[in-house]
Copies of this chain bind each other. A is one copy, B any other.
Amino acid sequence: MSKEVKIVFQPSGRIVHALPGTIILEAAALAGFIIHTPCGGTGKCGKCIVRLRSGNCPPTEPEIAVLGKTRIAEGFRLACMARITDPVTIEVPDSSLFQTHQQILTTDTGDRLEVRPRVRKTVIQIPPPFSHEILSDIERLRAVGVSAPLTLPALRALPHALRSPDSRLTVVQVDNDVIALEPGDTSASCYGIAFDIGSTTLVGTLVDLMTGKDVAVAARVNPQTSFGDDVITRIQKCRSEKNGLAQLQSSVLEGVNRIIDELERNARVSRLSVYEVVFAGNTTMQQILCGIDPSALGELPFAPAFRDALEFTAADLPLHVHPCAKVYVFPQIGGFVGGDTTAGIVATRLDRVTAPTLLVDIGTNGEIVLKHGERMLATSVAAGPAFEGARITNGMRATSGAIEKVIIDGDVSLNVIGNAKPAGLCGTGLIDVAAELLRVGILDETGRILPPDECPAGLSPALLARLVEDKEETHFLLVPKKDSATGEPILLYQRDIRELQLANAAIRAGINILLKMAGVDASELGAILLAGGFGNFIRRNHARRIGMLPPIPCDKIRFVGNTSSFGAKRVLLSTQEKDYTSRVVRQVQHVDLSLDPEFQLEFSTAMLFPNEG
């Protein structure tokens, strides 16, 4: 194994370790920074500028061409080109970052994040209580121009707020309701939370509704995973157990509320200053979160309970925010294509692109949207949890100890998350090793790991020594037991490749069906937008090599970040975005693959790895 080198990012001070040869773009992603690459990471647009603050990093030809020798000498580099060789400190300017997520908008340019929230705070000067006529508290409020109806909690706060020694009070209005009254001037504290509710991961972003800025982000594993990895097992639980839905709902609610607690703690913001919460998730997740039985999603015709956005009150769940806070749940497209896909379309403005474009969110459930002409076609495929490291013998999630990158040359080089000893293989590592084994010829197109005597000539003895024969099958040794964290060897088993093939084929078959329906050839695609936490860490050439994505140039494959979170944030920040969301979701046609006889055929074909030999 090559030795990893230490990379320090400024101004945050975050530290990661990566293999020599890693491009800065990927090292930054490891550190949690998504850098903007409008040209698709081809070193042409010069948008992904970073600056070396210490250490050495030899410039490449495209960098010198784009930046000029002077700026190169000053330490400027392009994150998509420059490769780590030695320990370095790198400054990432805000302008190159996804900090406000604005940069994920690869599909249209110049689009700004609109801040026009439904929550408004108004500070009122309280008139003296006594006059010739005795007014009730509400009448005194009306007298200073507050005419909207009060919720019961707002009315409960009124007597105290009116008698605040400050002689001012703050009216919190959402749409046409006064939901809170606060003593004094609290206009600076006005927050919302945008949630991405994934089958596996929950992500909450606390947003300042006045400025539109992110204040804190927190993520947790969805506690529902203890009841099963994918949505099907959870639907089954609702169908078969009397308290199944209640259990699953309280489980995800607990996760959501813990995230809220964490956001409150980290940002030092009172939960009572959170007045709106927006949720985006797939249909099953959204329905369970709301306590709406998803059983009908487990049988033909896979009908969701609702299509348009839902709105209700935080106390209805309840959430650990202001009890009258508004809750918005994203509109659903149909079947398993839910609010997260809607949010993805909203985040990327997919409806406005001109060339045929795919939006692909790879997760336990894969969602695919094809924009072509005036139409959008959307479908979902059950990729299974292989990309999350589940059902892989030595698989694990992309956390500390996970092998997230594999390079095969004369031997195997690994990159492990968190500078730890390797403990297992996460999704990106799995794709890497499959793609690399395909390239060197150890894996054939049917997905069989070849025994040493069938391998192509010229493989190094070191590689051949890693092939472990076991009855009819062959496995591949990634880490011998002396180097592993667990003291056990880490192997890629033949059956792990089968799991990967299933996940891979599901996504590719989904893509192929949509392309066929629209009459679009892969070569006509203007772009493939890869969304979701996992999508952002895939090596594009490898995803293409194993056939998950159609054979298009790598620069047309673009990472667009967590579009579910970002779409939710857009809607949280603006009533116009809510209107836009309602409109755009009606332009999407849901394609139910379970009813499509061609899907099985496409799926079988896609089980084979592409033959690029």
Interface residues of A (CB under 8 A from B): 129-130, 134-140, 151-152, 155-156, 158-160, 163, 290-293, 295-296, 300-308, 310, 312, 315-316, 332, 334-335, 590, 592
Residues of chain B lying within 8 A (CB to CB) of residue A300 = 130
Asked if residues B138 and A305 are in contact (CB atoms below 8 Å), the reply is yes
Q: How many Å from the CB of A286 to the closest CB on chain B?
A: 12
Asked if residues B316 and A136 are in contact (CB atoms below 8 Å), the reply is no
**Bound complex: CA of A563 vs CA of B170, how far in Å?**
40
Q: How many copies of this chain does one complex carry?
A: 2
**Bound complex: CA of A603 vs CA of B158, how far in Å?**
35
Asked if residues A155 and B296 are in contact (CB atoms below 8 Å), the reply is no
Q: Which of A130, A160, A307, A590 has the most CB of B within 10 A?
A: A307
Residues of chain B lying within 8 A (CB to CB) of residue A291 = 152, 156
- Known contacts: A305-B155, A307-B139. The answer to whether A334 contacts B592 by CB under 8 A is no
> Which 5 residue pairs spanning A and B have beta carbons closest together?
A136-B307, A137-B305, A152-B312, A134-B301, A159-B293
Q: How many Å from the CB of A407 to the closest CB on chain B?
A: 46
- Known contacts: A292-B155, A293-B156, A293-B159. The answer to whether A303 contacts B590 by CB under 8 A is no
Residues of chain B lying within 8 A (CB to CB) of residue A163 = 296
Cross-interface CB contact of A134 among B151, B152, B293, B592, cutoff 8 Å: B592
- Known contacts: A290-B156, A310-B152. The answer to whether A136 contacts B305 by CB under 8 A is yes
19 residue pairs of the A-B complex, CB under 8 angstroms, read A129-B303, A134-B302, A136-B332, A136-B334, A137-B296, A137-B305, A137-B306, A139-B307, A152-B312, A155-B290, A155-B292, A155-B306, A155-B310, A156-B291, A158-B292, A158-B305, A163-B296, A315-B315, A315-B316
Asked if residues A292 and B134 are in contact (CB atoms below 8 Å), the reply is no
Residues of chain B lying within 8 A (CB to CB) of residue A312 = 151-152
**Bound complex: CA of A310 vs CA of B151, how far in Å?**
9
Residue of B nearest to A590 (CB): B134
Q: How many Å from the CB of A152 to the closest CB on chain B?
A: 4
Residues of chain B lying within 8 A (CB to CB) of residue A129 = 301, 303
- Known contacts: A159-B293, A305-B155. The answer to whether A334 contacts B134 by CB under 8 A is yes
- Known contacts: A151-B312, A159-B292, A295-B159. The answer to whether A138 contacts B307 by CB under 8 A is yes
Residues of chain B lying within 8 A (CB to CB) of residue A590 = 134
**Bound complex: CA of A296 vs CA of B138, how far in Å?**
13
